[in-house]
A and B are shown apart, each in its own frame.
Chain A
Amino acid sequence: MPALSSTHINILSKVAAMSSTVSATSGFWKRNQQRLAPWLFLAPGMIMFSIYVIIPIFQSIWISFYDWDGLGPKTWIGLGNYAELLDDEAFYTSLKNNILWLVLYLLAVPAGLAVALFLNQTVAGIRLYKSLFFFPFVISQVVVGLIFTWFYAPDFGLLSALIKTLTGENVAILADERYVTLGIIAAGLWPQIAYCMILYLTGLNNINPEQVEAARMDGARGWSLLWNIILPQLGPATFIAIVVTVIGALRSFDLVSIMTDGGPYGSSRVLSFYMYEQALSEYGYRMGYGAAIAVVLFMIMMVFITLFIVRMLMRERHA
């Protein structure tokens, strides 16, 4: 626990002087202030968070047992929606794509580390370079999606032109069922690598230089130095990078919606997009079925959330 500085003492004496002029408040409040205060401080945030986040989770689970168009009466169908999911081709496509997203998106972690190591130098203008490398993360995914749609566009897209000069073939990445999901994931990796890079740059800043020097004295070089000395010290950065990347992969919606709208023939759908499509699309409002898809996605996410919380809890106990 950090010690009090002179500024702290200064604030303290001012506030204390101010308080002594205030007349004594009622006895009940005085006695129970410390016990009640946390709840009063928490109340506004907790009420908002409960109404908009906690309670809707349970409502969604509830709705997933109904057949409901969002307007008319709800019909209880029990596990009907889930039974339907088991036979739904589009559901499996989405699930498969979600797994692909999860696996490939995690490439952002080592890639971000590589970029961070490349940029972790002190040459003139390096600060500006770091900011510009981070740039893609600040831009909205809608804009990233549009940029990559243009980049991939057949005939006049930069990448298509490159592929054409190299192989002579004309590839329409976003119209080809084989490449479409890979193309969208690549677009998503662009900002995600930037995010992981900044996490690692901060981590590298806090590395103990004496340990590195000592290891160098012992003859550790390159990979072995990175693996045995640097990476263990980057543990917290790696943890956060994996957390945000896993969450980002499972949340992927914007890019799919912008770049392909799930197409061609629904081959680039992911669960988050398929849920939206079922619940709110022109094909009709199937709120119950959509909620069931959301519950499946939620359950997958809960596995990871539980792992994160357990780790955080262990650290919290440790401290």
Chain B
Amino acid sequence: MFPTPVQKAAPWVRHAYTIILPIALILWLLPLIGVAITSVRPSADLAAGNYFGIPSRFAGIDNYTAVFRDSPIGWYILNSFKVTIPTVIGAVGLACLSGFALAVYKFRANLLIFFLFVAGNFIPFQILMVPVRDMTLRAGLYDSISGLVLFHIAFQTGFCTLFMRNFITSLPFALIESARVEGVSEWRIFRYIVLPLMRPAIAALSVLVFTFIWNDYFWATVLVQGQHAMPVTAGLYSLNGQWIAAWHLVSAGSIVAAMPPVLMFFLMQKHFIAGLTLGATKG
């Protein structure tokens, strides 16, 4: 254990720790707390200069209803789900296959292909922007959900393959060898032996990719123009332009847009952190 557990420290240190902990948390989340309070502040407070005090009354219901009623944010959120869910299924599915191939078979190009996936995952988006936008336009998929989904699946396959390959490498290889001796076909080895063991990796990766895609802003602005296919990140930005100085609405909208990944994180916390820290302990 490092640092020394506070239980072993002098009593004053122990007390100080329990006091400092919540104060540090409040300071750390101060910007967020500010926004949360603003989102339940009546607009009259903002007009009267009451920016930091206690809200004169709880206007949360008014503000959040106004956001959903007067703006297409509900639609944007639906779009985000329509982009995110197929991407998660597609990218994780493809990565199960390619990760299996790279982890189980020894062939000459193995490492080369693996590092191609790894490197592709780190490149700046801008180097892809012009050709991908052009290709999407020519395929008639510009400004559509499917255009966005196809790109995201392809790009996320890089990271997901890296993840899956490392996970399958940590499984006992003797399992596959004994199955081969028994005459089990390669597809069945994948489908009935390895895939069931991959469940924790699939869960971790799904939560992670969900968050990445939900929070994507760049591709949403490059590949989508109109409201009908716009995800909530780009939608929130355009609403921000309309709600000038209506900070109570901007705040409420921000909180709504942040909710799905936040809920996902708290529900699937164990998987999320397992996914994120893969490789931080060994590697």
Task: Tell whether A pairs with B.
Answer: yes
Residues of chain A whose beta carbon lies under 8 Å from any beta carbon of chain B: 1-4, 8, 11-12, 14-16, 18-20, 22, 25, 33-35, 37-39, 41-42, 44-46, 48-49, 51-57, 59-60, 63, 70, 117-118, 120-123, 129, 131-136, 138-143, 146-148, 150-151, 156, 158, 161, 190, 195, 198-199, 202-207, 209, 212, 225-226, 229-230, 236-237, 239-241, 243, 247, 250-251, 253-254, 257-258, 271-272, 275-276, 279-280, 287, 290-291, 293-295, 297-298, 301, 304-305, 308-309, 312-313, 315-316
Interface residues of B in 200-246 (CB under 8 A from A): 211, 214-215, 217-218, 221-222, 233-234, 236-237, 240
Q: Are B172 and A117 in contact (CB under 8 A)?
A: no
Q: Are B100 and A41 in contact (CB under 8 A)?
A: yes
Of all chain B residues, which has the CB nearest A2?
B172
Known: A236-B279, A272-B124, A313-B115. A63 touches B105 (CB 8 A): no
Residue B16 lies at the interface, judged by CB distance under 8 Å to chain A: no
In the assembled complex, how far is the CB of residue B182 from the closest CB belonging to chain A, in whole angstroms? 4
Q: Are B51 and A161 in contact (CB under 8 A)?
A: yes
**Closest 5 A-B residue pairs measured CB to CB?**
A52-B154, A45-B98, A140-B215, A41-B101, A56-B131
In the assembled complex, how far is the CB of residue A306 from the closest CB belonging to chain B, in whole angstroms? 8
Interface residues of B in 157-176 (CB under 8 A from A): 157-158, 161, 170-175
In the assembled complex, how far is the CB of residue B199 from the closest CB belonging to chain A, in whole angstroms? 12
A3 CA / B35 CA spacing, docked (Å): 52
A37 CA / B187 CA spacing, docked (Å): 8
Q: Specify which of B127, B214, B215 lies most central, judged by the most chain A CB atoms within 10 Å of its CB.
A: B127
A121 CA / B18 CA spacing, docked (Å): 11
Interface of B (DSSP majority class): helix
In the assembled complex, how far is the CB of residue B177 from the closest CB belonging to chain A, in whole angstroms? 10
Q: Are A251 and B127 in contact (CB under 8 A)?
A: no
Q: Which residues of A contact B85 (CB under 8 A)?
A: none
Of all chain B residues, which has the CB nearest A193?
B28
Q: Which residues of B contact A2 (CB under 8 A)?
A: 170-172
Q: Are B32 and A136 in contact (CB under 8 A)?
A: yes
Q: Which residues of A contact B111 (CB under 8 A)?
A: 313, 316
Interface residues of B in 65-108 (CB under 8 A from A): 94-95, 97-98, 100-102, 104-105, 107
Q: Which residues of B contact A229 (CB under 8 A)?
A: 2
Q: A8-B175, A158-B51 are in contact. List 6 more A-B contacts (CB 8 A).
A: A16-B182, A19-B185, A143-B236, A147-B32, A198-B277, A309-B119
In the assembled complex, how far is the CB of residue B51 from the closest CB belonging to chain A, in whole angstroms? 4
Q: Which residues of A contact B35 (CB under 8 A)?
A: 146-147, 150
Residue B59 lies at the interface, judged by CB distance under 8 Å to chain A: no
Q: Which residues of A contact B102 (CB under 8 A)?
A: 38, 42
Q: Which residues of A contact B46 (CB under 8 A)?
A: 156
Among B1, B3, B117, B126, the residue within 8 A (CB) of A49 is B117
Per-residue CB proximity of B114-135 to A under 8 Å, as 1/0?
A: 0111111011111111111111
Of all chain B residues, which has the CB nearest A275?
B126
Selected A-B contacts with CB under 8 Å, 25 pairs: A11-B192, A12-B179, A19-B182, A41-B100, A46-B98, A49-B154, A56-B128, A120-B1, A129-B21, A134-B265, A136-B32, A140-B233, A142-B234, A151-B31, A156-B247, A237-B277, A254-B217, A257-B221, A276-B222, A280-B133, A297-B127, A308-B118, A309-B115, A309-B118, A313-B111
Q: Are A294 and B184 in contact (CB under 8 A)?
A: no
A56 CA / B123 CA spacing, docked (Å): 12
Q: Are B258 and A143 in contact (CB under 8 A)?
A: yes
Q: Which residues of B contact A236 (CB under 8 A)?
A: 279-283
Q: Which residues of A contact B266 (CB under 8 A)?
A: 131
A225 CA / B254 CA spacing, docked (Å): 43
In the assembled complex, how far is the CB of residue A166 from the closest CB belonging to chain B, in whole angstroms? 15
Q: Are B280 and A257 in contact (CB under 8 A)?
A: no
Residue B44 lies at the interface, judged by CB distance under 8 Å to chain A: no
Residue B140 lies at the interface, judged by CB distance under 8 Å to chain A: no
A174 CA / B49 CA spacing, docked (Å): 21
Among B151, B196, B282, the residue within 8 A (CB) of A11 is B196
Interface residues of B in 237-283 (CB under 8 A from A): 237, 240, 247, 250-251, 254, 257-258, 261-262, 264-266, 269, 273, 276-277, 279-283
Q: Which residues of B contact A141 (CB under 8 A)?
A: 215, 217
Known: A25-B185, A143-B254, A198-B276. A48 touches B154 (CB 8 A): yes
Q: Are A251 and B125 in contact (CB under 8 A)?
A: yes
A290 CA / B126 CA spacing, docked (Å): 9
Residue B38 lies at the interface, judged by CB distance under 8 Å to chain A: yes
Q: Are A225 and B2 in contact (CB under 8 A)?
A: yes
Among B100, B124, B214, the residue within 8 A (CB) of A297 is B124
Q: Which residues of B contact A121 (CB under 8 A)?
A: 5-6, 17
A7 CA / B151 CA spacing, docked (Å): 38
